[in-house]
Amino acid sequence: MAAIDERMTKALNEQVKWELFSSYLYLSMSAYFSATKLPGFAHWMRVQAQEELMHGMKIYDFVIERCGRAELMAIDKPQFEWASPLEVAEAVYSHEKKVTGMINGLVDLATEKKDHATLNMLQWFVKEQVEEEANASDIVEKLKMVSGERGVGVLFMLDRDLGQRPPKLQPVVSGQ
């Protein structure tokens, strides 16, 4: 297999940065939920942070496997305060839509470059983003239902439900 194109390498390295930033942002959200005594939400966001780290490593390993140079870039400090769980959920949904746009841009570039190996790898991310957006949207809609006296009970039940999410732990192994 030929070495990966330089422009494609640069774009994938940029995506690694955004996947790692996503992990950092979601870990910050987990800390926010821990501080606001919502351990289920904190757990959910911590699992999200772990998944985003895996996503970054998947791209990182792919670049190396294709004889490209993985270049790590600076990651910005994430936001750490929000007004409510709903505001956090809306931020997650917005962020996932942004990531979807970035993945779509990578697909467009791989198509332009006729880089079938990268295009094939990116299909996993296209599918993953559909799931990520659907999950975030679902939580936003559930939180919008929380209102008045009944809202505290619903928030408690949602927190409990989110705390049940098992992590999707996969070993970070080169070439996967």
**What value does the mean pLDDT take over residues 2-10?**
93
Euclidean distance between CA atoms 126 and 110, whole angstroms: 13
Predicted TM-score of the model (pTM): 0.85
**What value does the mean pLDDT take over residues 44-71?**
97
DSSP designation for 173: -
Confidence at 2, pLDDT banded by 50, 70, 90:
confident
- The region, left, alpha or beta by phi > 0 then psi within -120 to 50, assigned to residue 175 is left
**What value does the mean pLDDT take over residues 37-56?**
96
Confidence at 163, pLDDT banded by 50, 70, 90:
confident
What DSSP assignment string belongs to 52-88? HHHHHHHHHHHHHHTT--------PPPP---SSHHHH
Let me know the angle formed at the C-alpha of 21 by 40 and 164, rounded to the nearest 5 degrees.
15
169, two tokens? 């732990």
Q: Which residues contact 75 (CB under 8 A, 6 or more apart)?
A: 17, 20, 21, 24
* Residue pLDDT, tens place only, 65-103: 999 999 999 999 999 999 999 999 999 999 999 999 999
Least confident of 40-54, 72-86, 139-153: 139-153
| pLDDT, greater one: 160 or 96 | 96
Q: Which amino acid type is present at position 59?
A: I
Residue 30, CB half-sphere, CA atoms under 13 Å: how many?
17
Euclidean distance between CA atoms 168 and 170, whole angstroms: 6
List, in order of start, the domains of the chain with CATH numbers.
6-162 (1.20.1260.10)
So what's the pLDDT on residue 22?
Answer: 98
